[in-house]
Chain A
Amino acid sequence: MRITQNMVANQVLRNVTHSLARLAKSQEQLSSAKRINRASDDPLGSGVVLRLKANLERLNGFQRATDAAQEYLEGAATPLERIMELLHQAREIAVQGSSDTLSGTRGPLAEQVNQLLEGLLSEANTRFQERYVFGGTNTDATPYTATRDASGRITGVASNPLGVDGVINAEVGPDCLVPTNLPGGQTFDRSVNLFEVLITLRDALAAEDTAGVAATLTPLDGAMTQVNSASGVVGVAIRRLEAVRTRNQEDLIRLESLRSKVQDADIAAVYVELQKLQNAFDASLAAGARAMQSSLVDYLQ
């Protein structure tokens, strides 16, 4: 086989460019810490990475929705506690007022119940982050409006005619809808109308109607059960959200590690590979420089 200077030169050039190209590829993997930097690096893997990234971003969205839903539910939990407290006080007053030993002094008790009633109305119209908590989907309209007599006392409470029972859902997982609000009716008017009980109690106390006061004890107990179960619903929903968040968090970690496995470079392996390629590159440069140095011309005198 004839070997010419051009062949040697071409060979050296080819080897050096080839080594350099592989070195550059390895260096790209190392500096980006990714095995797949463009779709052609691994077409199948690229599709997988894209889908995983979409899933990851979707999960992030779910996590944010979960946080928002929890905020709202906790926004409902606080007024429910205060309503419970109100009902406890009302029941104590009712017990006190139904006692026969107390006579002619129920006026202050009636006044206290009136205050509780006002408090209940204000809790029913609680706003959290600009939304009426118990307004159903009509979060921008006052859910409960009182009608008052000439002296300003509440004679009745009507709910928003557009409805207070609409459910607002949040999507916290694929096809996983969780209610983020507690419909007003469930708290204030399911089996017992809280406002009516307090109005009856107040009026019975004002009228010194012992029997009438005693008759409110059963509905008051019912009211407390009703609020309790509403609190329970909120509590269950919050716990469910926490479970969803944990599951989403686990999914996030799992998918992220999956993505990393597909897309990220094994740094140690790439580093070793880079060192090998660096050596090969040096060797091809050195060999090239040596091979092209000598010629017969050097020895002809």
Chain B
Amino acid sequence: MSSLFGSLNVARSALFANQLVLQTTANNVANSGRSDYSRQRVDLVASLPETLPVGQVGTGVTVAGIRRLRDQFLDQQFIRAEQSLGEYEAEQATLNQIEALLGEPSDEGLQASLSRFFTAVTDVASYPQDYTTRRAALEQAETLAGDLRRVSSGLTDLKRNLESEIRGKVGDINELLQEIGRLNGQIQTVVVAGGSPNDLLDRRDQAVDGVAKLVSVSRLDRPDGTLVLSLTGGGGVLVDGTTVATLGAQLSAASDDYYLTLGGTAVSVTGGEMAGLLHSRNDADGYVKYAQDRLDTLAATLIEQTNRIQSAGAAAAGLRTAASQYAVSDPAAPLVSAGLPVGVTVPGTVTVFTYDTSTGAVAGSATITVTAATTLNDLAAQFAGAGLSASVSGGTLSLAAAAGQSFRFARDTGNLLPALGINAFFTGTNASTIAVSAALRADPNLLVVGYPDPTTGVVAAGDNRAALAMAGLSEQKVLGGGSASLTDYYAETIGVLGARTATANRLVETQTLVTRTIQNQREQVSGVSLDEEMIELTKAQRAFEASAKLVVVVDELLDTVVNGLKR
């Protein structure tokens, strides 16, 4: 049976419901700036009607719930898009750094140093007797070696930076995993008790998203509210209930790779920023390692080729002393298997001429023979027989001329001198160790310009054949099995890295667009529209006002009934 008090109740339910709508709207507006906020809506339903003999009559409005507007499918897509974006961005950052480090094409890069070095050597050939050109050529050689070392150490720094970044991200993941484990426990308690832990679920989702941005993970929700998080691709379980595994990162000494470990065993990860960082650090086909490897090969070839010419040529000044720079593993082991960076060709010979320092006349000559069985100790004995004092210590050979004498080498058919690094132009074995030989720096007159006469040992001051040969290295195809010059090889390296970087730039651009599109779609569903909220606000306000008016009307009716009937 309807009553005035029934109408009052209807008005009360409307006042209450609209108040809730107002508060929800206010909350939406307050959070409108947050990108991860989902707008909320109050779901209102009509209260159960009262059945009267004449029919059913409504009893007002009931709040069915407050709903978050969110699309789970879009959320997953967004995480995946962010994973790819993170991966590409990490690779792009590395490639951009390598590109900046090499700084090509430029007028001051490695290529310029290399070219200028060869021009300076050409000048030596043009003015074979001139001390200044030798000095200038050595200065250029030092600039070239310095550039190679600078780039090489920059690449090493980049590797170390990537490693520390990987360690930092591993730390982040571990913290998030701990939090997920903790929340798993709390959620389980609430769920088992029959409750709905909305806030805790939100926080756990956020933590899972955080992990997913860094590495690709798959999740499995259990009925008790806990979840199992494992690395995609069967990499291993990260979190199961409250059991949390710990990720680690370490360097493989054997392969110079940096890899992740889970509970002490190596794991591979796919997707996410971590995958991008690991690719950048470990891949040999276009990132840091590639650049380093190419530069090392370039430097090693430059060292070997220049040393080949320098060691058996004739410089203005004869050698007083000479020492090998590459140590053998065992002085009593055959040279061919003594672990030298440059190979010895056997059988081979090298001629040693000794000179009288005061007159410059040839004082004697001897032929040193290298066979497959020759050891460093044998060599020392042979050099001693040639009138030099020779000693072996720590796997290296030291030679010194007798008093008042100097010596030069000629016709090194076995590649013995560059293999041992005796009378070298460059010392070192790769881009990080290359340097102009200290002896040359101390005395530019030791820079070879010509060759001694192979039979008499006489040195002609105007002979520039060695300098011409060294300048000719610039176009000689000494790399890639005789298919590329030093310049070709370097240009190819720059081309490959440039193509990689261009691809990475494009990928990041495309993936950014994809991510933004998904973000936009998500925003369409979950974003707060202020205009919409204003309309909601107005609607609720008007409904509230109307309900209040209803209370007034019912009050007046009651007044009529109570006070009017009294008269």
Task: Write out the residue numbers on chain A whose beta carbons fall within 8 Å of the beta carbon of B160.
Answer: none
B residues lining the A interface (CB < 8 Å): 32-33, 35, 95-96, 99-100, 102-105, 111-112, 114-116, 118-119, 122-123, 125-130, 450, 458, 460-465, 468, 471-472, 474-475, 487-488, 490-492, 494-502, 505, 516, 519-520, 523-525, 527-532, 534-535, 538
Decide if B498 touches A5 in the complex (CB within 8 Å).
no
Decide if A57 touches B116 in the complex (CB within 8 Å).
yes
Task: Write out the residue numbers on chain A whose beta carbons fall within 8 Å of the beta carbon of B32.
Answer: 4-6
Decide if A58 touches B119 in the complex (CB within 8 Å).
yes
Chain A window 42-81, contacts with chain B (Cβ cutoff 8 Å), 1 for yes, 0 for no: 1110111111011001101110110011000000000000
Q: Which of A87-95, A111-119, A136-144, A191-199 contacts B (4 or more CB under 8 A)?
A: A136-144
Q: Which of A165-173, A235-243, A283-291 contacts B (4 or more CB under 8 A)?
A: A165-173
Task: Write out the residue numbers on chain B whose beta carbons fall within 8 Å of the beta carbon of A44.
Answer: 495, 499
Measured between C-beta atoms, what is the minimum distance from A47 to chain B in Å? 4
Decide if B463 touches A166 in the complex (CB within 8 Å).
yes
Decide if A171 touches B529 in the complex (CB within 8 Å).
no
Interface residue? A211 (CB, 8 A): no
Task: Write out the residue numbers on chain A whose beta carbons fall within 8 Å of the beta carbon of B130.
Answer: 130
Among A48, A171, A177, residue most surrounded by chain B Cβ atoms (within 10 Å)? A171
Besides A10-B516, A39-B99, A47-B494, 19 new A-B residue pairs in contact (Cβ under 8 A), listed by A number: A3-B529, A4-B532, A5-B528, A38-B100, A40-B501, A50-B494, A53-B115, A61-B471, A64-B122, A68-B123, A135-B462, A138-B462, A162-B460, A168-B464, A174-B475, A177-B468, A181-B462, A295-B530, A296-B530
Task: Write out the residue numbers on chain A whose beta carbons fall within 8 Å of the beta carbon of B114.
Answer: 54
Residue of A nearest to B104 (CB): A39
Question: Which one, A2, A51, A135, A137, contacts B524 given CB within 8 A?
Answer: A2
A46–B86 alpha-carbon span in the complex (Å)? 28
Measured between C-beta atoms, what is the minimum distance from A10 to chain B in Å? 7
Decide if A137 touches B494 in the complex (CB within 8 Å).
no
Measured between C-beta atoms, what is the minimum distance from B38 to chain A in Å? 12
Task: Write out the residue numbers on chain A whose beta carbons fall within 8 Å of the beta carbon of B102.
Answer: 39
Decide if A4 touches B487 in the complex (CB within 8 Å).
no
Give residues of chain A (1-60) contacting chain B, Cβ–Cβ below 8 Å: 1-7, 10, 14, 36, 38-44, 46-51, 53-54, 57-58, 60
Q: How many residues of A contact B (CB 8 A)?
A: 60
Decide if B487 touches A50 in the complex (CB within 8 Å).
yes
Task: Write out the residue numbers on chain B whose beta carbons fall within 8 Å of the beta carbon of A150.
Answer: none
Task: Write out the residue numbers on chain B whose beta carbons fall within 8 Å of the beta carbon of A130.
Answer: 129-130
Decide if A54 touches B474 in the complex (CB within 8 Å).
yes
Measured between C-beta atoms, what is the minimum distance from B142 to chain A in Å? 18
Question: Which one, B458, B468, B529, contacts A5 given CB within 8 A?
Answer: B529
A215–B333 alpha-carbon span in the complex (Å)? 73
Q: Lowest 9 CB-CB distances: which A-B pairs, in order?
A: A39-B498, A139-B462, A43-B498, A57-B115, A40-B501, A137-B460, A68-B126, A47-B495, A4-B527
A171–B491 alpha-carbon span in the complex (Å)? 24
Task: Write out the residue numbers on chain B whose beta carbons fall within 8 Å of the beta carbon of A6.
Answer: 32-33, 35, 523, 527-528
27 A/B residue pairs, CB under 8 Å, sorted by A:
A2-B527, A2-B529, A2-B532, A5-B529, A10-B519, A39-B105, A39-B494, A40-B99, A40-B500, A41-B502, A43-B494, A43-B497, A43-B502, A44-B499, A47-B492, A50-B105, A50-B494, A51-B491, A54-B474, A58-B115, A64-B122, A129-B127, A137-B463, A162-B460, A166-B460, A170-B125, A181-B462
Among A6, A65, A129, residue most surrounded by chain B Cβ atoms (within 10 Å)? A6
Decide if B520 touches A10 in the complex (CB within 8 Å).
yes
A140–B127 alpha-carbon span in the complex (Å)? 13
Task: Write out the residue numbers on chain A whose beta carbons fall within 8 Å of the beta carbon of B33.
Answer: 6
Among A42, A54, A263, residue most surrounded by chain B Cβ atoms (within 10 Å)? A54
